[in-house]
Amino acid sequence: MSNELAIACAQLNPIVGDIAGNLALARKARAEAAEMGADLVVFSELFISGYPPEDLVLKPAFQQACREAVETLAVDTADGGPAVLIGTPWHEEVKTYNACCLLEEGRVAATRFKVDLPNYGPFDEKRVFAAGPLPGPVPFRGVRLGIPICEDIWEDEVVECLEESGAELLIVPNGSPWWKYKHDLRLNIVVQRVTESNLPLIYINQLGGQDELIFDGASFGLHNDRTLAFQMPAFAEGVALTRWEREPGGPWRCVQGPMDVLEDNEELMWRACVQGLRDYVAKTGFPGVVLGLSGGIDSAICAAMAVDALGADRVHCVMLPYRYTSNESLVDAAACAEALGVRYDSVSIVDAVDGFTAALKPMFDALPADTTEENLQSRARGTTLMAISNKFGPMVVTTGNKSEMSVGYSTLYGDMNGGFNPIKDLYKTEVYRLSRWRNENHPRQCLGPAGVVIPQNIIDKAPSAELKPGQTDQDTLPPYDTLDDILECLVENEMSVAEIVSRGHDVETVKRIENMLYIAEYKRRQAPPGVKITRRNFGRDRRYPIVNRYRDHTI
């Protein structure tokens, strides 16, 4: 029986579908672990395929390619170096499982299958995987390892089975998406399982952006007394060595490992948006991004995030002025571009809008001007940015926040044009708060300059789309602190109108916002993806019908 074990935790950023690339990442991490003297290197859930692979898992050729990659990696372990614990889809007979494979001595020494397949929020695993049987521990160099996979620790059954069948140390591969406050929730779940089983636990989590999901890493371990064994950083790749020892007859304890400190919530939110944008651009192959810089807060924060993600040389900002664009906005946009060090151009949309107006004049002449004419401005801007994207190759970043997306204050084929939106899941009040925070802080892993990157006047002035003279957002919306509280009640918490009114909100305002939320569903279905920040983002987490006549009449 071994009383020492060196376990390397590979907190890495796989790409969904890049089986060869993910295999290369695993080989590189194993070589690094070997130099550290590791006995075992542990990877995250479904590492070989990338997570979540969604319906790719249904393709027999994909299943076979994943299996071949795992078997190739298994052959590598005949060299006497570290064994490997790695996640992969695994097809047996007529079923495909979410599996974790132990690779040792040149072979696949053991497989364990995920039991509890999540089917809520962003997860749809019952669609593509079969549930595995309750697992027993895996023997490894005289130690009995329990390997519950991600969701398997969110209830007690799997860990209880492992404890009762003799497991000594739990290693949990995860593809756990981040959202604000997720760290506390994870820790609470892990503490429950450790308390119930009296077993130490290693929690290894994926890093990186995948479409709208963001994985923060932040891998950690707990001793059986619930004290922190080690902590890896959030939003940073790395292979970390942990050394575990056991006194004869006693529990395993970590005697060496990293002890990083996780950042406060504002920094984690900022870095999540940055990581999500960086990975979306990199993994889809765009050379950079272009966005409209209006002089307003939303485009300014998106520009700052883009520079933090990609560097100033890969960000192109364009002012798209019309007759209603104020001189203040022109000055503020130029100042923001200068602070960020990006390329900045100005392309007037006057001729484009006037051309549309003239073409439509015979049909529209007898009718008063309304939002139709305002939307022509937005659509001219969207078309201009898409033309720049088509000509030069950068992806268009859209800049609508969650408050606007909730109530439909966005224009189809206008400001919604683009490939990705880093602030899609940030409410307007959060946009302001994070803008102030970024001006005072320089986050880790960010490429932009320190200091003020969003001019103070952009933060201070009243928000406006500037689609008509003297326009402000509060002409037609309640103040954003009121609006955002109502929206959070409706979207995140599914509260009734009566419950929201009991918080001090006007009943007619709540009903109006609820109606605006429902009727804007068709727009959100056509919006580009964006980083998931809240517990319930639009898209994966909240699936409402477009045709929907339900309204809350409880008050």
User: What's the rounded Cα separation, in Å, for the pair 268 and 271?
Assistant: 5
Give the pLDDT score at 470. 72
The 3-state secondary structure of 77-96, one letter per residue = HHHCCCEEEEEEEEEECCEE
Instruction: Output the six-digit token pair for 160.
Output: 């209880």
Instruction: Output the six-digit token pair for 58.
Output: 């249904």
Name the region of 466 (left: φ>0; alpha: ψ -120 to 50; beta: rest).
left
Give the pLDDT score at 471. 64
Q: Which residues sit opposite 289 in a β-bridge? A: 315, 395
Choose the catalytic residue: 9, 100, 101, 114. Answer: 114
Helix axes 428-440, 297-310, angle to 10 degrees: 50
Give the pLDDT score at 475. 65
Q: In angstroms, how far is CA 329 from the centroid of its own chain?
A: 31
pTM above 0.85, yes or no: yes
User: What's the rounded Cα separation, in Å, for the pair 323 and 352?
Assistant: 12
Is there a catalytic annotation at residue 150?
yes
Give the pLDDT score at 69. 97
Instruction: Confirm if 129 and 52 have CB atoms less than 8 A apart.
Output: no
Using the Cα atoms of residue 76, residue 82, residue 87 and residue 91 in order, give the sign of their dihedral.
positive
- Sequence-distant (≥ 6) Cβ neighbours of residue 126 within 8 angstroms: 117, 119
Instruction: Output the six-digit token pair for 383.
Output: 């078309």
Is there a catalytic annotation at residue 114?
yes
Give the pLDDT score at 451. 96
The CATH number of the domain covering residues in 4-260: 3.60.110.10
User: What's the rounded Cα separation, in Å, for the pair 376 and 414?
Assistant: 8
Instruction: Confirm if 405 and 524 have CB atoms less than 8 A apart.
Output: yes
Give the pLDDT score at 131. 95
Q: What is the CA radius of gyration of the chain?
A: 26
Instruction: Output the six-digit token pair for 281.
Output: 């651009």
Give the pLDDT score at 218. 97
Instruction: Output the six-digit token pair for 332.
Output: 């503020």
Choose the catalytic residue: 66, 150, 302, 446. Answer: 150
- How buried is residue 327: exposed, middle or buried, by Cβ count under 10 Å (0-12/13-18/19+)? exposed
Q: What are the start and end residues of each CATH 3.40.50.620 domain in the chain?
A: 267-473
Instruction: Output the six-digit token pair for 533.
Output: 């920040």
Nearest residue to 171 via CA among 121, 135, 119? 135
- Spell out a b/e string for 245-258, using b for 16 or more CB atoms within 10 Å of the CB, else e: ebeeeeebbbeebe
CATH of region 267-473, choose from 3.90.1150.10, 3.40.50.720, 3.40.50.620, 3.40.1190.20: 3.40.50.620
Choose the catalytic residue: 45, 125, 163, 212. Answer: 45
Q: What are the start and end residues of each CATH 3.60.110.10 domain in the chain?
A: 4-260
Digits of tens for pLDDT over the chain (555 positions)? 678 999 999 999 999 999 999 999 999 999 999 999 999 999 999 999 999 999 999 999 999 999 999 999 999 999 999 999 999 999 998 999 999 999 999 999 999 999 999 988 888 899 999 999 999 999 999 899 999 999 999 999 999 999 999 999 999 999 999 999 899 999 999 999 999 999 999 999 999 999 999 999 999 999 999 999 999 999 999 999 999 999 887 899 999 999 999 988 899 999 999 999 999 999 999 999 999 999 999 999 999 999 999 999 999 999 999 998 899 999 999 999 999 999 999 999 999 999 999 999 999 998 999 989 999 999 999 999 999 999 999 999 999 999 999 999 999 999 999 999 999 999 999 999 999 999 999 999 999 999 999 999 999 988 766 566 776 767 678 899 999 999 999 999 999 999 999 999 999 999 999 999 999 999 999 999 999 999 889 888 888 888 888 888 888
End-to-end, the C-alpha distance of the chain in Å comes to: 67
> Strands, DSSP E only, in 402-463?
none
Give the pLDDT score at 243. 97
Query: DSSP character for 271?
Result: H
Give the pLDDT score at 463. 77
